[in-house]
Amino acid sequence: MSLVNKSFKLEDANTIPAVGYGVGTAHFKRDPKSGVNKELVGLIRTAIEGGFKLIDGASVYGTNIEIGQAWKESGVDRKDIFISNKYNTNHEHAKHVSIKDQFKSDLEELQTDYVDLYLLHYPYIKKETHGFNLSEAWKELEHLRDEGLARNIGVSNFQIEDLDHIIKSNPKYYPQVNQIEFSAYLQDQTPGIVEYCQKQSILVESYGPLGPITKGKPGPLDPILEKLSKKYNKTEDQILLRWVLQKNVLPITTSSKENRIKAILEIFDFELDKEDEEEITKIGKQKTVRQFSKEYSKYD
């Protein structure tokens, strides 16, 4: 995969917008039946109208209805927006819920007849809890792709061994994406995963890319980010997001402030000098900040 202008081009020539607006942890609805969150609808609509092409959601977030309502209200043509969603692999929820049935419910809530990207949220899929195993789950995603219901398919929070399991099962399609927590303070969610994915031409998507700012202060990158912010006349957020892009990783981020939503998209009009990119990489490895993927903290 490669970054071309404002999109990543995959091996099969499909493209994905190079930055996404996440409707995840920050907007999580503990009770999906609590009604439509009008404020969230407005935020997503602001993001879309401000120029975001990729909207990233998941069944478990309980926010599919808000995504569907927001993109409809925005007036943007369906072909001009990239909707990503995830199958909820939590076994308590997924037990007796097939991927096909969950996917159908997701489409209804999203008010669309297809998604641009569909992911297995976690690799924790077993016969005992789901009625099917990981290889069978992947074949279901392949069927969705063949039927044109999911234009691209991938995974989330997968380790090397999980991806190997799929790849060695002789799949029709390799995963196109692996969405993991990734930032300058967490450059490998699990050992070797980024390098492995990129060697396999699997696009890495990053959630939590602003970890050094949101959870990492004070930290060794603080003076570096302050220096580079002045050098490039960009915010520290923009410096970190640009660093992620230059690692050939697609950042998924979010905000509830309109000015910050617009600023996120202003990461394509500059480029970090190689020595600055390398300095962030080197100094960032001095600290580990894991905001979300706590189940992998044994590797810290």
Token pair for residue 247? 């690692």
Handedness of CA 256, 194, 87, 110 (dihedral sign): positive
Side-chain-side CA neighbours of 124 within 13 Å: the count stands at 13
Pairing between β-strand 203-207 and β-strand 249-253 as defined by DSSP bridges: parallel
Q: CA-CA distance, 192 to 196, in Å (whole number)?
A: 6
Residues comprising the chain, all counted: 300
Q: Is the backbone of residue 148 left (phi > 0), alpha (psi -120 to 50) or beta?
A: left
Catalytic residue among 21, 121, 122, 185: 121
Question: Token pair 């924790």 is at which residue?
Answer: 124
Catalytic residue among 21, 27, 61, 87: 61
Q: CA-CA distance, 183 to 178, in Å (whole number)?
A: 15
Residue 121 among the catalytic residues: yes
What amino acid occupies position 293? S
Q: CA-CA distance, 289 to 297, in Å (whole number)?
A: 10
What amino acid occupies position 270? F
Taking the CA atoms of residue 248, residue 250, residue 256 and residue 262 in that order, the dihedral angle to the nearest 10 degrees is: 60
Strands laid side by side in the 2-4 sheet? 2-4, 7-9, 15-17
DSSP state of 229: H
Measured CA to CA in angstroms, residue 68 lies from 46, 63, 94, 98 at distances of 14, 9, 22, 22
Residue 61 among the catalytic residues: yes
Question: Token pair 């890495």 is at which residue?
Answer: 204
Residues labelled catalytic:
61, 121
